[in-house]
Amino acid sequence: MTFHYDNPYASTRHPVFARNLVAASHPLAAQAGLRMLQEGGNAADAAVAAAAAMTICEPVSNGLGSDAFCILWDGKQLHGLNAAGRAPAKWSVDYFQKKYGDADAPPKRGIDSVTVPGAVAAWVQLNKRFGRLPLADVLAPAIDIAERGYLVPVVVGRKWAAAVPELQSQPGFGDIFMPRGRAPQVGELFQFPAAAQALKRIAASRGVAFYGGEIAHAIERFAAAQGGVIEASDFERYQPEWVETISMSYRGYQLHEIGPSTQGIAALMALGMLDHFDLRALGVGSVSSKHVQIEAMKLAFADVYRHVAEPSSMGVDATQMLDESYLKSRARLIRMNKAQDFGPGLQQGGGTIYLTAADENGMMVSFIQSNYQGFGSGCVEPEFGISLQNRGHGFSLQESSPNVVAPGKRPFHTIIPAFLTRDGQPVMSFGVMGAHMQPQGHVQALVRMLDQDLNPQAACDAPRWRVNPDGTLNVEASANPAVVQELKDRGHRIEALADSYQDFGAGQFIWRLGDPKVEGYVGASDARRDGLVAGF
């Protein structure tokens, strides 16, 4: 691939070239990862160090109570890691109906939105299987940042302040995240000693303190005080799962995603449909190109929202959803001059952070972790500073849904790392954060790079659009007004949004340029957040 390095979009950033790269949405996290590489670690060590630092530096998106997923190239093959949390053993439809009546889903906030967090287990597994350095060394930068504190950056500071009105009444939130009775201001020092203690216990026990040990028991006591039923035994039973990726061919490349219960399959389905259109001939920035991409995403989401859940609960499987003839038939439904609303085509047979790291020996890591909606549940166990996710809100309370809540089950998941290969060899480790924006971000970035030859930073900077679950369309404020008007003329229901952080996601990209020891990589970090690509 030969990229164009003249960026047609407004940007404050340039692509970064190096033989070792770490890209994250906070500079201190990227530097924590780089420190591991400089101390003899590999990309797995760098990713875990950066992920741990991110729980301290960007608490508006993730924390020690997050879930996580990873795709890793070890030099010979890809490995997928599913560290989605599972429902407590005492959760059931009956449990929620007795407490909340006829709700459609578990609550958005509070202790009954919390499943067993998987991110710490992901760190332990990555370090154990692929890392070179002791876990204590890998977590040391995050511990130092938590103890000494850091100055709150611009984007994080704004999101922190915006979250306070909704979450300040949640147990533990004010104690930890409002140290002066308010959100920290931009440029103000924030220290997190409780999380430092948790990280030290995790490091010393190689995760046992979190999964059945003193941290798990502290969370059990905290949950019980709020009327919750998550217990230390739920943590002790928890194990992340090593999985095969699922993939789709597009323009001679293979996009890899983690399979259900994540929404990564939506990006694969959309690309499978787009492969039947010549987007390069249409002009990637043209209204026709955007229209086709939007319609393909709508078609993909129609099936994803109907069918995707824990694989054992799905009435159709990933193979059926990615069938070439099926996606071709779906592509035929797209009308070039008319926006449409689509239903699922298959019938049933029965606040996130993303980071990536790559080293000169060829290891590449695509890693994502999240508390789901901003700070997540809003509940923060105060002794160890565990900010708990709200992934339980992703379950359904409808018995007919494949995503219905059940003990030990994993909910529908929005967070998805991605990886690109060609002829069985690694090409790019990447991801785009932001709820249901994520598969759409994957598609838009790949189209920009593979059909328009834009370099990763330019593809990252390009204005984005977002299809919503109700079929409406949001466009970034920087989008071409003429193209927006033409999309409206084709029937798209459009609203422009100015908040790029949450609504249009944020990405990190590392593209392999050749032999990592010689040519190395080119990396990009999204200007929609406070991030950095660090390299040497």
- Using DSSP's 3-state secondary structure scheme, residue 388 falls into strand
Are 218 and 383 contacting, i.e. CB atoms less than 8 angstroms apart? yes
- Catalytic residue (one of 55, 115, 245, 352): 352
Chain length of the chain? 536
CA distance 528 to 60: 14
Among candidates 153, 160, 158, 166, which has minimal Cα distance to 179?
Answer: 160
Are 272 and 322 contacting, i.e. CB atoms less than 8 angstroms apart? yes
pTM: 0.95
**Tens digits of pLDDT across the chain (536 residues):** 777 667 766 666 889 999 999 999 999 999 999 999 999 999 999 999 999 999 999 999 999 999 999 999 999 999 999 999 999 999 999 999 999 998 999 999 999 999 999 999 999 999 999 999 999 999 999 999 999 999 999 999 999 999 999 999 999 999 999 999 999 999 999 999 999 999 999 999 999 999 999 999 999 999 999 999 999 999 999 999 999 999 999 999 999 999 999 999 999 999 999 999 999 999 878 999 999 999 999 999 999 999 999 999 999 999 999 999 999 999 999 999 999 999 998 765 447 899 999 999 999 999 999 999 999 999 999 999 999 999 999 999 999 999 999 999 999 999 999 999 999 999 999 999 988 899 999 999 999 999 999 999 999 999 999 999 888 999 998 889 999 999 999 999 997 776 655 578 899 999 999 999 999 999 999 999 999 999 99
Are 525 and 13 contacting, i.e. CB atoms less than 8 angstroms apart? yes
Active site residue 352: yes
